[in-house]
Structure 1
Amino acid sequence: MSKILVTGAAGFIGFHLVQALLARGDEVVGIDNLNDYYDVSLKHARLEQCGIYQKDLVPAVLTASVTNPAYQFAQLDLNNRHVLQQLFVDEGFERVCNLAAQAGVRYSLSNPSAYIEANISGFLNVLECCRHFKIKHLVYASSSSVYGLNKKMPFSVRDAAVHPISLYAASKKCNELMAHTYSHLFGIPTTGLRFFTVYGPWGRPDMALFLFTKAILENKRVDVYNHGNMRRDFTYIDDIVSGILQVLDTPACPDQTWDPQHPDPSTSSAPFRVHNLGRGLPVRLSDFISEIERNTGIKAKVNLLPIQDGDVEETFADIDSMASLAGYVPAVSIAEGVGKFVTWYLEFYGRGLAIPAAEKAAAV
């Protein structure tokens, strides 16, 4: 049993991680700035699942869950440095999982400053708190997008990832470099997890599965970029959370075999590690859409478009380092995962809403 801070706790991954930590008996404090990058009501709905209600929230003040005494939440931005420091003073965290970030590759093209403020300045404040309050392990979200122009498949943490093609990706690579610096200078165990296209119930509205499902149910065209020639290593949320828990429980240690003449970028002489966290099996977007069609009973109207700036054609995770560390084995198939998401979507947004009358029976 540990006391753990989860940043981004009202986000997709953070919400599921909080539930998993509470279920196994940990004491959890969650923070989130509840920004409006996407529908804030979805974030509040996630919080309600954990016993945190909007009417009870006071900015920068902890609110206790009404359903689980081991959970507290505060609406707090990572750039509110003094309040963040006081939270570390008051709560005495042992471990930190930093999932707070400005997400989205395409949004970084139009609003780059948001990524510097949230993903770099905010992360610096987390690192400083971990430094001064002797945190036993900092686990933080990186991204498969750091591989950028890399074409060698599968993506390996042992290969250099120094050619990002979006500011979002650059900010995540910067997080890894910042974490290594603090591990080297101050001995803070840090582990970065490069997430690969996470999907599942309560997911983000800007992600592919959510967008495709919504469009299909509303009888609208599904925008598919790169003329359908995209492949993604879709990873179900339960597998992601399982990997995070395994890593949280295994603080990074110095690699005694690390060779500065032939440096492995995923390890170090400092207590620093980076892992891919994916399924290890890329799926063509057309096959992914077929699973949504099968679960909704509705044929998609596909709109094929050119690839967008900042997008990569394929992601494919080499997950050997996670398997070696803690026996990580993704368990959820695409068919099972998409089915669970569609079931949740119909329950949450209302079965039949925006579905053409002739197709309602098929969707049921």
Structure 2
Amino acid sequence: MDELIINSELHQYKIMIGNRIRYDINTLLPKTYSTILVITDDKVAEKYLSEVMSNLQAENIFTSIIPAGEQSKSFALFEKLHTEALTYGLDRESLIIALGGGVVGDLAGFVAATYMRGIDYIQMPTTILAHDSSVGGKVAINHQLGKNLIGSFYPPKAVLYDIDTLSTLPRSQVRSGYAELIKEGLIADEELFQSILSSDLMSLSQDQLHNHIRSGIKIKAAIVEADEKEKGMRKYLNLGHTLGHALETTLGYGVLTHGEAIGIGLLFSMYVSESVYTIKLPYEPLYRWLLNNNYPLFLEQLHVNDLITLMKTDKKTLNHHIQMVLLKNVGEPVIKEISDEDMSSYLKQFLRKLVIA
């Protein structure tokens, strides 16, 4: 089992990555809790909830099952989970376990951050995408005007990553997770980026998957430790997200997976970077890899002005000016302010380029 330690402002916590961790969960809890609430979604519950529950030992253990999908990161479910926690009698010595992907982790983490002004929670990721979202303590729900706009910085007490649970992922979720791994390679590790580009998502070996995830988590962990509250370099982790989040919102949450939207956003970031800095980046190799691995790249009925409006709800936006993460080279991210006029031009050219390609 691999172990990484994250030092946050609130506390130190471990990230444990390995096989069959769900069967050892009780021995990996940081302390004894009065009550445990496991929050998961209906798809993960069918596969792994009973195994997790049977290996927990506590006086009071409860479960809350939410619908799978981005739509669940809502005010309504946030309130419902608080009501259930109160009904089950959770107190300040209770624990919430987030068993699932990024949606479950973000929602359950935000519930933990706000319930009785904050109780312990543990992330148990079951998707590749959640290798990114489960580390670093950013928890949130969505607003109809934008993604992840209501939230907090609240680190977990531990991250228990059972790699075995990834074997049942649908292909769309494998694509989704790998977009974030590509992002991490682009901002900090060219070797990881090139390794992914030489991989076929339909025939990944366990070793490839484990190595890619471990590398991605190490990148995320190093950046989070250096800038936990996103005052500086942590913003680089939003590469591809300015357009990606806007696409998720304008198309409707769930039409594209998060990673599918980020894949398009990464291409757009490269396109803008090449234009701004007059450089050559691996746009074409990334485009071909995304295409060969069945990422949806051809989008219809997108309105540039609507996208710009949504991009201005991005958390990096300052004084209504879009701040975008760009690349001067692989491994050399920067923040650049883009005017509305230039953004409109870049979007029109980029969307045209996607269709022609």
Q: Same fold (TM over 0.5)?
A: no
Structure with more relative contact order (C-alpha pairs < 8 Å, separation 6 or more):
1
Q: With structure 2 as the length reference, what TM-score do the two structures score?
A: 0.31
More strand by share: 2
Q: With structure 1 as the length reference, what TM-score do the two structures score?
A: 0.31
